[in-house]
Structure 1
């Protein structure tokens, strides 16, 4: 066939406009292929050598401006000029690809896990917080994602807070000049999909919802792009009247090995101020605890991942410049504690959370699971030092710390390698992948080589 004719054919049938292709895991580890496309129809997907159409999850649309966490003058309609397409992949799928891009598939056992969290670039007028999104040294999620991908994980767990570009960069601020903002596709693409690209190609993801993905913030993008469940009317965060539905979702379990599973809990709408009986959040999270306890009975070992640390802590400064401690999330302690004073089922061995912008490990002599905090993967870091004697801190009622390690003001990711039943080797990596700390988790107890990474 003449070259001119080939060129003509190519122009008639353009390649699908695939902007991102990735795999998220849902209930019982079911894999869902997702594609974001600027085309007018969803592309075909090839599964085990057979092409088939993808299903439309969300059409291109511009959502009318709604009340948000910012003032009306610092908000705008959310424009999504992209299709979200998906297809559940059958168990045992050996290969899947879209537009020539191979999709990562789940392994029979997830033996190598990357854990990241709090990845976006903060632009928030109310806090006068404008991170230098244009400087990869100060907003390094792209560097972190590339290094984590090079580690070749079987699974990625993101513990929440993907979207931070909420308000416009001030005039004259070169660090964030030109950044997209708001809750539409352009901000989601800059904050998450572009920098995360190598890690989205490397492995399937378990996505955990953070408070930045509640309905008054990035909830519309959360439901369109990330949550593994079907997108149901009213759960999309498009209308404030539906927020009581859109802000909550059911826990689910992802098998990691025959004796171990990951419990995924949406606690995005909790509050550090606490919850009381009769509050919507109190009832929803008390119900979530009951469902988690039932799921946990399926295996002897469980890792639980949610955004807000129940058993971790951070530090900040008050208006007088005095340090105060931000203890474990009180809303969850109130609601979970109403069912179980020890807060978690006995066979939950560790919690994987974010929200506090640092890395942290806490092991307890009281009957509580180890807490890991991995909120250190791109968002402006916490800078206030933790107490010199962290063992004296009590993050939750009755919780007694017996081993502690932390990294304040450092960007990176955490890895977990399975050693056997209830046993994991854990490493803390900096943004370039260099190992900065090594830990072990056996049952509920954890120990690290370095108490404070500097």
Structure 2
């Protein structure tokens, strides 16, 4: 918009802008109102089916133009404010989730060569994506707990927008988010300049500030695979996850709107996405597991045993599989004890118990690697035992885990029972993103980039085994 200089008559300024285009026709003829602001992106789901999504404050859904032909979009979710439901916090620290905009969607059939909404082009999926960005744990932590106030207003301390822009500049064919998009759960305390003015809660304003606005460049760059994290279970950001991110139809009772439906809303079936060369991605919903462990009789124990069996069946459709689960079963975290000592934390106990009760090796044999987040760092593990490689890419924006990991993991502290670590690499307390570029049917080059796009580590994945050039990124 042009700002009229002080002292210049408003009418004179308007005439100068309008008359050269059309004499006496009025500015409306040459300056139609701009389209409403909106968010648009593409999600890839079961069997590689792609869905265009548009989030817009408008009376009705806009049209989508596919191969120069216009057609209506379907309303996925209306604008509404959902009554306050139970959250992890007291009612005084919670509020109803307000979604004052429509969620619209349209399928992108195979063979579509162009797609746009309101003049904005949408990225289209490739049958064989070769360049893949992997990110996770992207939101800014505002949580009424110890160390819960990240400086969301400081791009150095909350750099997701920078990370997303650099990842987009790498020109990916596909983006994989391994979960935990939403972190702004509680109001910033008075007097805290680092997060002053931030939206909070589980409605659109917090989702926009935490994910859609800072991730805009990357959402425009390529289609996304949207895995689900524990921050998107029904007690937390599940309403937004089902409304905005899951690729499947939104079903009443599986939307996390009512706590009575949480046994349905907290779990969903896995799905497979073919990515060429006899390879597929397997996307697992592990949002409601617990590091405290699960046992027979627990709802989650039975649900995740069923999840394993369905993953096993899907994995038999292709000789090569790369799994995606927010929680790493084969990762290693660390915490500091009261006396200052460091304790190593193995992979997720809930999934290890439930998956392990079906298969002691935890994963079907055709899974060559698992991509995860949850631990706020980057990590790679390869095993001499019959386990897939594990990559953890949870370092894209959320406040980092800073307790150091050893350069070599002790043999008596495996990440999972029976897992024998062959190669281990990590980067603690650094923000960035991971990329995977195909080099063969079972071969990928895996690069670790910092927030500015500089390469900090180089790894090779060949079958189930992986190895990196640097054991510890400094």
CA displacement at 1:14 relative to structure 2 = 4.3
Instruction: State the match for 1:396 in structure 2.
Output: 416
Is residue 282 from structure 1 mapped to residue 301 from structure 2 by the alignment? yes
Q: How many angstroms apart in 2 are the aligned matches of 1:31 and 1:6?
A: 43
Q: Structure 2 residue aligned with 1:28, among 27, 44, 47?
A: 47
Per the TM alignment, residue 62 of structure 1 is displaced from its structure 2 partner at its CA by 0.6
Equivalents in 1 of 2:35, 2:201: separation in Å? 27
The change in CA–CA distance for 1:403 and 1:49 in structure 2 (over 3 A counts) is same
Q: Please identify, of 311-320 and 48-57, the stretch whose mean Cα deviation from structure 2 is larger.
A: 311-320
Deviation at 1:318, TM superposition (A): 3.3
- The equivalent position to 2:121 in structure 1, one of 102, 121, 126, is 102
How far did 1:161 drift?
0.3
Which residue of structure 2 lines up, in the alignment, with residue 445 of structure 1? 465
Shift of 1:15: 4.2
Q: Which moved more, 1:156-165 or 1:316-325?
A: 316-325
Q: TM-score, normalised by structure 1?
A: 0.98
Asked if 1:315 corresponds to 2:355, the answer is no
**Cα distance in 2 between the residues matched to 1:320 and 1:171:** 32
SS class of match (2:433): strand
Q: Which secondary structure does the structure 2 equivalent of 1:124 belong to?
A: coil
Listed as ranges, the matches of 1:66-215 within 5 Å are: 66-215=85-234
Distance 2:24 2:249 in 1: 45
* 1:331 matches 2:350: yes
| 1:2–1:10 distance in 2 versus 1, CA, 3 Å | closer
Mapped partners of 1:215, 1:373: distance in 2? 24
Contact conserved, 1:223 with 1:236, CA < 8 A, in 2? yes
CA contact (8 A) 2:137 2:396 kept: yes
The superposition leaves residues 227-278 of structure 1 with CA deviations (integer Å, 9 ceiling, x where unpaired) of 1010000111111111111111110001111310000000010001111112
Pair 1:436 & 2:456 matched: yes
C-alpha deviation, 1:8, in angstroms: 2.9
1:363·1:444 contact (CA, 8 Å) conserved in 2? Answer: yes
Unaligned runs of 5+ in 1: none
Question: Secondary structure, in 3 states, of the residue corresponding to 1:334?
Answer: helix
Structure-1 separation of matches of 2:63 and 2:33: 13
8 Å CA contact 1:16–1:43 kept in 2: the answer is no
Residues paired across the two proteins, number? 453
Q: 5+ residue gaps in structure 2?
A: 1-20
Counterparts of 1:199 and 1:229 in 2: how far apart (Å)? 22
Report if the CA contact (8 A) 1:80-1:185 is conserved.
Answer: yes
Matched residues in 1 for 2:241 and 2:437: separation? 29
- Select 1:412's aligned residue among 432, 438, 452: 432
Do the aligned residues in 1 keep the contact of 2:444 with 2:462 (CA within 8 Å)? yes
The aligned counterpart of 2:268 is: 249
Tell me which residue corresponds to 1:59.
78
3-state secondary structure, aligned to 1:145: helix
Q: Is the 8 A contact 2:407 2:472 kept in 1?
A: no
Corresponding residue SS for 2:71: strand
1:292 is matched with: 311
Q: Deviations over 1:374-407 (max 9, x none)?
A: 0000000000011343152300000000100000
Secondary structure of the structure 1 residue equivalent to 2:145 = helix
2-structure distance, mates of 1:51, 1:243: 38
Q: Which runs of 4+ in 1 moved over 6 A?
A: none
CA–CA separation in structure 1 for the residues paired with 2:44 and 2:322: 15
Residues 354 and 375 in structure 1, CA contact (< 8 A), matched pair in contact too: yes
**Would you say the 8 A contact 1:391–1:402 is kept in 2?**
no
Q: CA RMSD in A?
A: 1.4
Name the stretch that deviates more: 355-364 or 390-399.
390-399
User: Hey, what's the Cα distance between the residues in 2 that align with 1:121 and 1:90?
Assistant: 35
Aligned 8 A contact 1:391 1:401 in 2: no
